[in-house]
Structure 1
Amino acid sequence: MKTLRFGDGIPSAEECGCGLDHDRTLQAAVIAPLKESLGLLSSNSYAVFYDEVTFRVAGRFVVDFVDGEGFLVRAPTFSEAEEKAEKVKGFETIIGVGGGSVIDVAKYAAYKTGKTFISIPTAPSHDGIASPTASLFDKGRRISIKTRAPVLALIDLDIMMDAPRILRASGFGDIIAKIVSIKDWQLGRDEVGEPYCKTAESCTLRAVRLVVEALSKPLSRRERIESLVEALVYSGVAMMVAGSSRPASGSEHLFSHYLDMNLRHRAPHGIQCAIGALVMARYHEIHNPGWWRRPGYGWRNIRRLMIEAGIPVSLAENGIPLEIAARALVEAAEIRPNRYTILHKRRPSLEEAIQLFREVGLL
């Protein structure tokens, strides 16, 4: 059993001096077989959320182990989350067993009803495992809702390793994308006076280092997945401390959000973000003097990391039409006009956007 402890171990807002309110809800992430980590829980009344797939993977086991009541999540929508919140008012603790969809619905329901939330991921696909943000669809549009981080994240490596390969690749992609998101946040700090937190930065960079090292060394698959899940937790902690997704979501995430809004069939979130990060890294190199000087964080190395993670380095292989991808670079800044990124600093033309995709080898 491996325990990553947070809570009071995170510097307070006063100690950091960043001016942001440091949320310290997440007490620990426990990496162990579920039968061991669930044994740490006290007697309680548990509502356990799952979907049809994650019920078979771990949901049934969790319901039986904690003697809880199960709730099937049909879709990651705001209306579904509201409906579930009405049904769990009589429980003390909500457990989300699943990927991003289930965990985000459970996270919102727990926040809406003031219940304790425990996260049990079934795939290492993105950093929502431990974050305070729920990403839900409302009237066809993806919205991010500030909620609360889980009190505990219980992670079974055997379950993580059994997740579909594309979901593991998505998790790596989501962390690789932080190479860009942290630089977009620094742009916001330097050019428009946005609040900036060194504690959150430290957590984000720790996540990046874990994945860069895991993909650059001859590690076993199990060791790589363990590094990945730790990285996903640290990225979630960065968002928890900052009080928003700012440390983990920049121009590369705006690119992904644009695809979500304009494509019927989407690639996994982390894969879209990694593609966005690859092209945005090149754009930063051209137009941001504050881009990384650290060896290994340039667009060529991002491309290498993507290949090592099993992410197809091609728009076509990921089902993304060039026209929509290029328009994403031109128009994505409008999705969140108040979140300053390299796309807000300088909006590319359509021709420039196409050239960027060509330069980084995505065509």
Structure 2
Amino acid sequence: MSPIPPFDLTQQYTTISEEVSAAVLDVLSSGQYIKGSVVESFERQFANYIGTSEGIACNSGTDALYLALRALQIGAGDEVITSPFTFIATAEVISAVGATPVFVDVEPETFNLDLKLIEAAITERTRAIIPVHLFGQPVNMTRLMAIAQTHRLVVIEDCAQAIGAKWGNARVGSIGHIGCFSFYPTKNLGACGDGGAVTTNDSAIAAAIRMLGDHGRKSGYFHEKVGVNSRLDAVQAAILQIKLRYLDSWNDQRQTVAKRYHQLLHSISDLVVPQIPEGGHGVWNQYTIRLSRALETHQHNGHGNFRDAVRQQLQQQGVSSMVYYPLPLHLQPVYADLGYQVGQLPVSEQLAKEVLSLPMFPELSALQQEQVVYTLKDSLLQVAELSV
């Protein structure tokens, strides 16, 4: 059998290569590579898809979060609550505007913010909450928005991994005050390079984000704020316009892949399969299992991390996997000055030792999945023998 990668962008490109080539050539022949009608058209289409009145394209998901915080004038002296179990960009932007990230632990089932812990973390300095719809699974936005309303906080949804996901009947990115998206190539809607977008129903916020992302100006060479250069180029916008038409179909294929994994993995005692939040509709940017039950025995016998040993065995047999994330943010060296200690956010710390993301992409075949699961079972057996 051929090696199985964690994701494969080539198959997706093959199916739309003629459309993409034509669209890119149209942009190149137009001579309008920055801003312009193609970018504006994509912004409208994307906002309409998410269900908001405003969509603003930018050059990355990180910038989307940064611009959202800047538009809200969040900065020095302010606190923003978020998850420690996510990519650093979510917290990095809080620090970048001069505010302080406040980490709240996550749920062991969904890997998303544990909403029962939010209110205890709110202080008089708290300005906003950034929930992360991790791995494509939505946060319970009904409960979160109720908490935010009670405490008069702004909610900025980090939807980087969850384009197309829903809570109830609403897509993520349309429920909070602001939605932030990444078009990094491995996302469900991925560009052929970096890209991002912000969605909102607040026209004043949208205007501020547009200005800040274009050097703090509304027009010409007259600058009202210290801004940044964060623009989605027209080539990427043209590609994303095409891909947006296929997004729901690709997300449906991811659902099929996830259900098949559920069926193939449910009887394996050494792992925990991911759970779909009740009331939510996920889009499976990742399919992330937990290898937990043999962990203590394996470590007790001096063999290191059980998850890492299984991953190594998988790799040796041609199945690639990923670990998101091996060290939670509150324990990262960059945040040592915040004073978090080992054991303070125990669920995130435990997940960091246990999670393993299996190959996940829309074109993953049933035969490939059977190979993944067969190899996983064999790897578990081999590593378990070391624990005896």
TM range (shorter): 0.3 to 0.5
* Higher RCO structure, 1 or 2 (CA under 8 Å, sep 6+): 2
Q: How high is the TM-score relative to the length of structure 2?
A: 0.35
Q: How high is the TM-score relative to the length of structure 1?
A: 0.37
Say which one has the larger Rg. 2
* Greater fraction helix: 1
